[in-house]
Structure 1
Amino acid sequence: MIPKPVILDISEWQVPNQINYDQLAKQINGVIVRVQYGSNYVDNYYQTHIREFQKRGVPTAVYAWVRGTSYHDMEQEALDFYTRAKAFQPVFWWLDVEEQSMSDMRGGCERYRAKLKQLGAKKVGVYVANHLYGRFNLDVTKFDGLWVPTYGQNNGQYTGANPTATTAYHIHQYTSSGKLLGYNGHLDLNRLAKGEWAFFFGKTAQSKSSNQFELSTAVYLRQAASEKAVAIALLKKGERVQVESIQIAEGYVWGQQKRKDGHFGYLALGEMIPYGKYI
């Protein structure tokens, strides 16, 4: 399943000319955009991503991969991050801590956090890899939010695999293989595990998106996400279907529809066109 509200994090790996922002924006409730990889590398498309999502009403946060090698360097990265993103008024600022760039990561990340706050960032959180959580020993109590990844099967769905390093996380990145309408490649998807939506993404309603899908051709609604599954009904071209969640099976993106009797039906929304192959 893909839990709601849907939180996407995105970077230059998702190229704008390969994204249908109108479609993708309707599938998500919030987005976190990468701004930089250390001070010296600026994400090529962060401004485009932010503008495109913001003009479609998607609450937008930002993140920066942390690479500071000294306390001074950490503060400089914070300054560069703030300078590059402040004009967009992001709803939240996140440090992405995935490598040991200095010996005292605890102290260095605290300098980074404090500098962002001093500059004017109201809410600052930290993303830290599950397997590095103990080693880095960050003082997460000083941050406004904690974001931790654990993928489990990493099949594009949330399968119940949760972070093991701590239970104090607010946002859980549960896959790097997510699939949503509007982009044919893989996406990082996240769920809100703890806390209030409004605190992390502002007052925009979680249910902003109608999640309705208008059929451009007739499609069978089936009992399972398979062409071999029993057909429940033939849906006509032009019908609008309320999609609860999506999943990948047999080369198709399938939408899950809740029926009046409480059971679910599945319809193929389109073919999955990958940008590569598994080897």
Structure 2
Amino acid sequence: MISLKIKYLLMSVGIALIGFFTFAIQPMTTNASQNNVYDLSEWQGNFTDNQVKILKKEVPFVILRVQFGSNYYDKTFNHNVSLLKKYGVPYGVYSFSQYINPDDAKKEAQDLYHRAPDAKFYVNDYEQQTVKSGGTDNATLAWVNALRPLVNGRKILFYSYQSFMLQHASKAVSAYDGYWLAAYQSKEPQREHVLWQYTDHYFSPALNQYVDSSLLTSKNSDWFIGGNSKPKPVAPASTGSYSKFYSVMTVRDTTNAKFYNHAVGDKKYAKQLSANYTGKHFKGYNVNIDCKAIVNNVVYYRCYVGKKLVGWIRSSALGPHISYTKTKGTKKVRLNTNYNFYNHIPDSHFGNIKKVANGKSYSRKKVTLSDKAKKDGWRSYYYKCYYRGKLIGWIYQRAF
């Protein structure tokens, strides 16, 4: 930036020569994968369509000067920014500040925004002492405070070289989102910064001229330009209640439910929802469960067959896991029992469960036992019973 260059030219010949050999004699070629960022003004002239097309591949974004104080508006800004928009080159903007007091600083900041409302970020280039009243720190703080309500969360940076910042804006700089540090040297400065302007003699193949260039070091380009130009949509909040739940259950034979990749009805996953399997594909299978969800008062379980995740299914599609073991012996049926015999254990996964005999028909009769079964979590059993060698069915142990 112009004033900064003059100050450096006034430095000793030895330092100037070092700077020249470090940065000037190597016309470097760059591309968008590199970390160089150009700051450009009317000194680079009006861009052409072809230049901007190449520039898009050369840098992740550029920074354009909009004004020199409020009273001078860069002659090439409107033309150049229209081409940047046309070819999708992201850009931030800066004002070469000339404010003389806090009120003047507010006006300069507001003018910058109104002249470049679509910029990705904004910069206060304060490198020349012009403040006559109100204090330099106060004026620099007024600049950022005036701009902040206008930019809708976009970044606001402070630019200067370190000695000037320490003398005139050491307090105000912390109110900015980052410090763009000017230091024409080969080694990166230790002073904290988000962007380092390291040379005014970097060759741009796109523009076919030497330009000011800065390096992205501590921040990537998305930090400055926000990645996609459109704001990312806010993901819906989960409408389900989730908790750890460990169990084994069995898929019912008659279920029409499906296994899904998410609990059905949770708005957070509505757009990604898809069916993995039909429930009938795994009818009669034991499934391992590790999570429970309640969505719209419906319970869902996350299920695995062995170690394979098959998905979420509503609880009504599952029956209790039942352990079967062989047994021997006889038992006498109670008088007038209210328990009956069934072809399968009631509420098991089988689809054709039905009563096969009244328990009262076998009051005080001895039945022979061949198997017993217990639902997970229960202490009592169902028994498979025979009478005079003929299968009757399954009955609950309280019938005896």
Give TM-score scaled by structure 1 length.
0.64
Counterpart-to-counterpart distance in 2, 1:203 and 1:168: 23
Q: How does 1:1-279 map to 2 (within 5 A)?
A: 4-16=34-46, 20-86=51-117, 89-102=118-131, 104-122=135-153, 123-136=155-168, 137-152=170-185, 160-163=186-189, 167-204=191-228
* Unmatched tracts of structure 2, length 5 or more: 1-27, 230-400
Q: Is the 1:146–1:169 Cα contact (8 Å) retained in structure 2?
A: yes
Corresponding position of 2:282: none
Q: Which runs of 4+ in 1 moved over 6 A?
A: none
- Identify the structure with bigger relative contact order (alpha carbons < 8 Å, sequence gap 6+): 1
Counterpart-to-counterpart distance in 1, 2:145 and 2:94: 16
Q: Match of 2:140, SS?
A: helix
Counterpart-to-counterpart distance in 1, 2:47 and 2:91: 20
Q: Is the 2:157–2:178 Cα contact (8 Å) retained in structure 1?
A: yes
Counterpart-to-counterpart distance in 2, 1:189 and 1:95: 17
Deviation at 1:10, TM superposition (A): 0.5
Counterpart-to-counterpart distance in 2, 1:39 and 1:125: 18
Deviation at 1:24, TM superposition (A): 2.4
Counterpart-to-counterpart distance in 2, 1:121 and 1:82: 11
Q: Match of 1:16, SS?
A: coil
Q: Which whole-Å deviations, capped at 9, do the CAs of 1:46-74 have from their partners, x for residues lacking one? A: 12222212222221111111111011111
Counterpart-to-counterpart distance in 1, 2:76 and 2:165: 29
Corresponding position of 1:230: none
Q: Is the 1:6–1:28 Cα contact (8 Å) retained in structure 2?
A: yes
CA RMSD of aligned residues (A): 2.1
Deviation at 1:16, TM superposition (A): 1.3
Counterpart-to-counterpart distance in 2, 1:125 and 1:85: 15
Q: Is the 1:64–1:95 Cα contact (8 Å) retained in structure 2?
A: yes
Alpha carbons of structure 1 residues 196 and 182: separation in structure 2 relative to 1, 3 Å: closer
Counterpart-to-counterpart distance in 2, 1:179 and 1:204: 28
Q: How many residues align?
A: 194
